[in-house]
Chain A
Amino acid sequence: MHPFPFYLKLGFEHISDLAAYDHLLFLVALCAVYRIEHWKNVLILVTAFTVGHSLTLALAGTDSITVPSSLIEFLIPTTILLTAVHNLFRADSAGPPARMGQNYFIALFFGLIHGMGFSNYFRALLMGDSSVLIPLLGFNVGIELGQLLVVLIIVSVSFFLVNLVKVRFRDWNVFVSGVASGLSLLLMIENRFW
């Protein structure tokens, strides 16, 4: 098997791995507050996250960034908590999302942090091999595809509940953000670095 599709599959499967639920949790917190008609915003948002993620992961073969793993593993659930709490302060419940530029930037920045978790991992595994680029590119494309699938499911559930079952959008938002906050707080406590 050629390394590219090989790592693509690995990235795709990683997203659907429930043992790695922090990634799924972030996507849920990030996307659950968008309605299906805002799918383009969601697409850009998820891609911004992947771009950030790829930037730090691309540095895995070098020693350009060395942030201690213990700090990163605390910061990852912190980004989930911040995203979930941010959801609760959304003023509108039905109109188009406000300040999308800012949201894209936040997704990109949080992507950088999430990427660092993998960056440390791959750097240790590959020990500075020269052939890091193709595996990492494949892994990231796989992650992006996996994320898009997960986001499609999240937005579909949201559509089903809000548009068909007529759950109030605000209730859905509070429910999802509450669950994400609780789980991310647990992860923060488990991963405290002090």
Chain B
Amino acid sequence: MSASATTHAHPLRLSLCEVEYESASQTITVSLRLFLMDINEALVFDPDNNVLALGQADESADAEELLLAYLNDFFYLKVNGRRLELKVKTKRLSGNGDNVALGLLFEFPNVEFLNSLEIKNAVFTDLFFDQNNIIYVHVNGESKSLMLNKKTPIHTLDF
């Protein structure tokens, strides 16, 4: 690993979250994509430390629990005023070198209707002042994009 880890040439600080709801399936799916180096920095205070090995074959036993504990502090979804409990359905890595992202998929079945959706996404804003978290919301074929960050970590959509 290069010595460059903490000095990205292009420190664009982004994460991506896609929320999808279809009345027909009554299911909300949430896909969250976070850079692995940012996760390592948040959880073990070292972007290069791969001791948790998230999404890898030798993933540490408590890695997911640690990640969820962090996410629960900085990320939530409230559907019709009720906060959803995060449980990871799948994990997938993509990219190479310093640019490896971890894709997390969450699924929430039995959502009969959707009146309001409150999203908080302040992940990594505790680490980076310029962190921006992109949110795409797709509800019954209609899409919206949001940008949440340190200044505006929460947004509510009413349907």
Residue ranges of A at the interface with B (Cβ–Cβ < 8 Å): 1-3, 6, 9-10, 14, 17, 19-20, 22-23, 66, 68-70, 72-74, 76-77, 114, 117-118, 120-121, 123-128, 187, 190-193
- Evaluate whether A123 and B7 lie within 8 angstroms (CB atoms) in the complex, with A1-B144, A70-B2 already known: no
Instruction: Tell me which of A1, A66, A125, A127 has the highest count of chain B C-beta atoms within 10 A of its own C-beta.
Output: A125
User: CA–CA, A67 to B25, complex, Å?
Assistant: 41
Question: In the complex, are the beta carbons of A120 and B4 less than 8 A apart?
Answer: no
User: CA–CA, A6 to B137, complex, Å?
Assistant: 14
Question: In the complex, are the beta carbons of A191 and B2 less than 8 A apart?
Answer: yes
Question: In the complex, are the beta carbons of A77 and B35 less than 8 A apart?
Answer: no
Q: Chain B at the A interface: mostly helix, strand, loop or mixed?
A: strand
B101 contacts A by Cβ under 8 Å? yes
Chain B residue at minimal CB-CB distance from A68: B97
B103 contacts A by Cβ under 8 Å? yes
Q: Provide a sorted-by-A list of 9 A–B residue pairs whose CB atoms are within 8 angstroms.
A: A1-B147, A14-B12, A118-B12, A121-B10, A123-B99, A124-B101, A125-B15, A125-B95, A191-B2
Q: Chain B residues near A127 (CB, 8 Å)? A: 33, 92, 94, 101, 103
Q: Chain A residues near B147 (CB, 8 Å)? A: 1, 6, 9-10
Q: Chain A residues near B12 (CB, 8 Å)? A: 14, 20, 118, 121
User: CA–CA, A1 to B3, complex, Å?
Assistant: 38
Question: In the complex, are the beta carbons of B4 and A73 less than 8 A apart?
Answer: yes
Q: Chain A residues near B9 (CB, 8 Å)? A: 22, 72-73, 76-77, 117, 187, 191
Residue ranges of B at the interface with A (Cβ–Cβ < 8 Å): 2-4, 7-12, 14-16, 33, 35, 92, 94-101, 103, 129-130, 132, 134, 144-147
Question: In the complex, are the beta carbons of A69 and B96 less than 8 A apart?
Answer: yes
User: CA–CA, A2 to B73, complex, Å?
Assistant: 29
- In the assembled complex, how far is the CB of residue B23 from the closest CB belonging to chain A, in whole angstroms? 22
Question: In the complex, are the beta carbons of A187 and B7 less than 8 A apart?
Answer: yes
- Evaluate whether A121 and B99 lie within 8 angstroms (CB atoms) in the complex, with A70-B2, A190-B7 already known: yes
